[in-house]
Amino acid sequence: MDFYDLDLDDATLDALDAMRFEKCSPIQEAAIPVILEGKDVIGVAQTGTGKTAAYLLPILNQLNKGTYSEDHVNCVIMAPTRELAQQIDKAMEGFSYFMNVSSVAIYGGNDGIRYEQEKRGLTKGADIVIATPGRLISHMSLGNVDFSKVSFFVLDEADRMLDMGFSDDILQIEKMLPKQRQTILFSATMPDKIVSLAKKIMNNPVEIKLAVSKPAEKIDQGAYLCREGEKIAVVKHIFQQIPPERVIVFASSKQKVKELNIALKRRGYNSDAMHSDLEQKQRDETMTNFKANRTSILVATDIVARGIDIDDIQMVINYDVPHDSEDYIHRIGRTARANRTGQAITLVSEKDYPKFCSIEKFLGRKIEVKKNPEGCIQEETFRKQVSEAGCSGERRGRGRHHGPKRREVNGEEKTNANRSRRRGHKRGGGRSNQKNSAPKTAEKAPKKNGEPS
């Protein structure tokens, strides 16, 4: 479907034209009309599916009508990390280029100047506030915030926010908002805690599920079965075969990120680390160096890496097996973008083997197991020890896919439309105050379209 087929105004379409976006992604096609109708929405979709535009475009479209307060905050968007908040703010700048809509990003750091800029944006009533929970709570405690006129409340990557312990903060912020508002929640998965949160803060939400996509065909996937203590030797072996130029190494914790980065530097590699203990200035410098090819290897945790948006990643290494299939798809999807090729290597220890088997089951294929360097355990011995220890995901069926159940619905794609087809009528947005209603579900299967993210 084209964006012209949606009920978007000229300013929104002009911005999309300038950014050369024509086709909606599946999540945009499904979510934008529902959001324009004023309904609460739960969107289940991975990062990289175009979900940011799926909520920003209809919200901007509504704010641009001029029927909302000009000197108050009208929309609050919550994000789990500074990097994602910055990414949303950047997208906001592009989509609102032809509109008189203002925004401010609230994401922390110890810079006093930055804090004053945030305070000024809040007190002067920026139309859209994009914030991390902790930083926004800080401003709220100092009386810098008036949310009495908020009409839109968005939770982006809600599952990550709950994983990071922000549940109480979200509820505290929600209590400051008017009851009569539109709430939009996006999450990569739909665990019970998301369902529970939705019941507390949403009104009869429409649930839109996007089937989890499989990795791009141009990603060459491989794995090494090794002991935990052998992983650094395996990484060195990989880099001897393929000299690192632009590589992301994902580790499971910030402590492991720090240790691995030190180990790589000691071995002469041009690496840097990205984790939550870094100040914002340090994070920005790390990302700038990596994007400018001044750093060859970036070692990072999942959480902070969600703001990384680079097309030409040579290789992704999973130093630890991801927790579930969605995280695996998300990690390796950093490479082979924009019709390029790329490599994804996963290091599998004995304790992580069930999770690895679960990922293979989800993919519907075996991942090629590479031969370990000399001095490391070999595949036959590894599999024997795993089997004897009762850790075999294949034998005992352990390790399961935690993603949402999916069914595919093929939507009919409309023909292209020109600007004369733009519709100016308003859609009804009748809302119910009834809480704890079960979500209504509309599922969409992924299609290969170019889309804004």
DSSP 5-25: GS---HHHHHHHHHTT--BPP
Residue 428: pLDDT band (50, 70, 90) is very low
Sign of CA dihedral 209, 303, 265, 286: positive
296 and 372 within one domain: yes
Comparing 305 with 171, the larger pLDDT belongs to 171
Which residues does 412 contact at the CB level (< 8 Å), separation at least 6? none
150 and 14 within one domain: yes
- Tell me if 15 sits within 8 A of 91, measured CB to CB: no
DSSP code at position 155: E
Residue 393: pLDDT band (50, 70, 90) is low
337 and 237 within one domain: yes
Does some domain include residue 452? no
181 and 62 within one domain: yes
Which residues does 39 contact at the CB level (< 8 Å), separation at least 6? 182, 204, 205, 206, 429, 431
268 and 191 within one domain: no
199 and 262 within one domain: no
Q: Percent of the chain, pLDDT > 90? A: 61
**CA pair distance 361, 400, nearest whole angstrom:** 9
For position 324, which CATH number holds? 3.40.50.300
Q: Region 137-155: what's the mean pLDDT?
A: 95
**CA pair distance 180, 341, nearest whole angstrom:** 48
12 and 142 within one domain: yes
Does some domain include residue 164? yes
**CA pair distance 378, 382, nearest whole angstrom:** 6
Sign of CA dihedral 297, 302, 303, 305: positive
**CA pair distance 182, 194, nearest whole angstrom:** 17
Does some domain include residue 451? no
Among 25-34, 273-282, 364-373, 392-401, where is mean pLDDT lowest?
392-401
Q: Which letter, b or e, does each residue of 253-273 get, where b requires 16 or more Cβ atoms within 10 Å of its Cβ?
A: ebebbeebbebbeeeebebbb
Q: For residue 341, how far is the Cα from the chain centroid?
A: 22
434 and 290 within one domain: no
Residue 244, both tokens: 């690192």
362 and 302 within one domain: yes
Residue 212: pLDDT band (50, 70, 90) is low
Q: Percent of the chain, pLDDT > 70? A: 83
How would you class 214 by CB atoms within 10 Å of its CB: exposed for 0-12, middle for 13-18, buried for 19 or more? middle
Per-residue model confidence (pLDDT) at position 453 = 53
Q: How many domains does the chain have?
A: 2
**CA pair distance 80, 103, nearest whole angstrom:** 18
**CA pair distance 228, 256, nearest whole angstrom:** 12
Q: What do you get for the CA distance between the two ends of the chain, in Å?
A: 16
Q: Which letter, b or e, does each residue of 63-97 get, where b requires 16 or more Cβ atoms within 10 Å of its Cβ?
A: bbeeebeeebbbbbbbbbbbbbbbbbbebbeebbe
Radius of gyration of the chain (CA): 23
SS3 282: helix
- As a residue count, the chain comes to 453
Does some domain include residue 449? no
Residue 392: pLDDT band (50, 70, 90) is low
364 and 227 within one domain: yes
- Tell me if 199 sits within 8 A of 169, measured CB to CB: no
- Of the candidates 359, 377, 396, which is a domain's last residue? 396
The model's pLDDT over 62-112, given as tens digits with 9 standing for 90+, comes to: 999 988 888 899 999 999 988 889 889 999 999 999 999 999 999 976 677
CA nearest neighbour of 229 among 372, 129, 380:
372
